[in-house]
């Protein structure tokens, strides 16, 4: 009982006596995040070097291709997710479930998970490209077999570590983000500036007119879809809005600052790559290492390329290890309410969701085969990015729609942060996601791995095969699948580490 209730108050003191000072109740300290701290935390979570080579082919025009998705997707996602996170705990599953029902809540968390499964091969392919330079044999970065082997070996290695449980790699993600992402990004910015201001020849035009990217049809801007995916993840960080003193004022400022920092980390290193490496030589998995190779070779320290490539590979691997178990926890929470068969609810002795992780690993292994089947590694990379983006964009559309529905359906639920003009902000985000989703069916300019007429069908089949299972599981669910105890709690409550 609280000390504020009458029953817990001390009896009046007798005349002539003094009461002892009231006992101070110790409460756990909650770290308060400032505007700058939350912005930096968001930068580490969202920023990635993986998408830079794709945009470097556009030179100065990449600035616009980064800026537009930031305005119409990054900012709306951050703001809307903050309102939802401060009103309902439990992430996208709970947000969508409360607005649109359990079927669509399950679909949303499944899509959040499955897009991450598709993302693993793209991130690991990026690692393979970096390792090729570490092994001082850049030609390996164009080998589909080498890329597939790296994906399978590193992914299953990360999975085995995850299945052991514990927090062995709790700090690896943050250090990996600093050493493998921010440090290489800063180096690229410095090298690019020295290159340009020392009068070295730029491989792209730096005239102001080059800010407008060339338009040769829809295919020429399809890579903007990968930019949308590059900004994904803001909804995960929105939960920290509860740690701010004044979320109403501080959070929008933090979002603005984070957006500026993220743009700088994306735009400036992209330009540093484009000025040094001819666009025809850029590969999507090895473009960053090629740029470092040009800079270090020019200054006579070519050996440093392998060192930086190792850092980049370590940073990318840290992000994979961090995310192997994360998204599957949301699927498990939904599964234990009876939405997935018992085989997919299986846990090991450490309480880790081994059933879902085995399914996850099987899908990653199958997707890795694409790099062997498709001769061009960069083409396979683009195809997987489009597939992942399309799946994730459906989840975001459900999230934006849910925010609008909940504002009308549950107006009295307390939210520490409320979005000004929510229908407009969420509407902009929804339309941006829909446009990017439609663009995912158009083959990028220069994509030759599949016939243009076949490309949209392949993307469509992948979306159906990976996106339809939650609807099927929901329709086929059985009472025996519900493993909750009689009190309605989840098994995951007994395994907080899972």
Non-local (6+) Cβ contacts of 162 within 8 A are 321, 324, 325, 352, 357
Q: Note the pLDDT tens digit of each residue in 275-287.
A: 998 888 877 667 8
Mean pLDDT of 39-52: 76
pLDDT of residue 4: 41
pLDDT at position 219 over 70: no
pLDDT of residue 402: 96
pLDDT of residue 136: 63
**Confidence band for 177, pLDDT divided at 50, 70 and 90:** low
| Domains defined along the chain, listed by start | 32-412+422-478 (1.20.1740.10)
Q: Note the pLDDT tens digit of each residue in 383-439.
A: 777 777 888 899 999 999 999 999 999 999 988 889 999 999 999 999 999 988 888
Return d(Cα 293, Cα 128) in angstroms, integer. Answer: 16
What mean pLDDT is reported for the chain? 80
pLDDT at position 263 over 60: yes
The most confident of the ranges 114-118, 212-216, 358-362, 446-450 is 358-362
Least confident among 7-16, 23-32, 323-332: 7-16
pLDDT at position 452 over 90: no
Model pTM?
A: 0.79
Phi/psi at 340 (5° precision): -135, 155
**Confidence band for 193, pLDDT divided at 50, 70 and 90:** very high
C-alpha closest to that of 440 among 401, 397, 383, 363? 383
Q: Note the pLDDT tens digit of each residue in 127-147.
A: 888 888 887 677 787 788 888
pLDDT of residue 239: 63
Return d(Cα 357, Cα 345) in angstroms, integer. Answer: 10
Return d(Cα 171, Cα 177) in angstroms, integer. Answer: 10
pLDDT of residue 295: 93
pLDDT at position 164 over 70: yes
């Amino acid at each position: 009982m609280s000390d504020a209730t009458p029953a817990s108050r001390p009896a009046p003191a007798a005349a002539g006596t003094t009461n002892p000072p009231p006992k101070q109740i110790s409460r756990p300290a909650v770290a308060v995040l400032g505007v700058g701290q939350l912005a930096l935390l968001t930068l580490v979570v969202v920023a990635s070097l993986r998408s830079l080579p794709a945009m470097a082919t556009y030179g100065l025009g990449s600035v616009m291709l980064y800026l537009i998705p930031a305005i119409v997707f990054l900012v709306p996602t951050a703001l809307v997710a903050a309102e939802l996170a401060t009103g309902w705990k439990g992430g996208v599953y709970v947000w969508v479930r409360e607005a649109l029902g359990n079927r669509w809540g399950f679909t949303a968390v499944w899509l959040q998970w499955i897009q991450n499964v598709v993302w693993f091969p793209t991130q690991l392919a990026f690692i393979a490209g970096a390792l090729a330079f570490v092994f001082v044999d850049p030609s390996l970065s164009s080998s589909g077999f080498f890329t597939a082997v790296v994906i399978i070996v590193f992914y299953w290695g990360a999975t085995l570590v995850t299945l052991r449980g514990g927090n062995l790699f709790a700090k690896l993600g943050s250090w990996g983000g600093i050493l493998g992402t921010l440090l290489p990004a800063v180096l690229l910015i410095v090298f690019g500036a020295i290159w340009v201001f020392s009068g070295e020849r730029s491989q792209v035009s730096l005239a102001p007119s080059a800010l407008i990217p060339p338009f040769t049809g829809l295919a020429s801007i399809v890579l903007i879809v990968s930019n949308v995916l590059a900004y994904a993840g803001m909804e995960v960080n929105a939960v920290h809005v509860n740690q701010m003193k004044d979320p109403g004022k501080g959070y929008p400022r933090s979002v603005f600052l984070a957006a500026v920092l993220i743009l700088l980390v994306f735009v400036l290193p992209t330009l540093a790559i484009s000025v040094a490496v001819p666009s025809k030589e850029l590969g999507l998995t090895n473009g960053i290492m090629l740029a470092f190779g040009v800079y270090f070779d020019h200054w006579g320290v070519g050996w440093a390329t392998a060192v930086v490539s190792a850092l980049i590979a370590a940073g990318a691997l840290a992000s994979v290890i961090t995310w192997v178990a994360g998204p599957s926890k949301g699927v498990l929470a939904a599964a234990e309410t009876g939405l997935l068969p018992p085989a997919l609810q299986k846990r090991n002795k450490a309480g880790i969701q081994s059933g879902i992780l085995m399914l996850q690993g099987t899908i990653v292994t199958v997707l890795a085969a694409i790099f062997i089947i498709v001769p061009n590694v960069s083409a396979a990379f683009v195809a997987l990015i489009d597939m992942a983006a399309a799946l994730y964009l459906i989840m975001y559309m459900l999230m934006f729609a849910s925010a609008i529905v909940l504002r009308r359906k549950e107006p009295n639920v307390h939210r520490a942060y409320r979005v000004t003009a929510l229908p407009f902000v969420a509407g902009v985000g929804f339309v941006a996601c829909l446009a990017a989703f439609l663009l995912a069916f158009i083959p990028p300019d220069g994509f030759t791995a599949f016939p243009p007429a076949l490309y949209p069908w392949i993307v469509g089949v992948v979306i159906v095969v990976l996106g339809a299972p939650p609807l099927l599981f929901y329709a086929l669910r059985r009472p025996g699948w519900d493993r909750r105890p009689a009190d309605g709690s989840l098994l995951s409550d007994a395994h907080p580490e899972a």
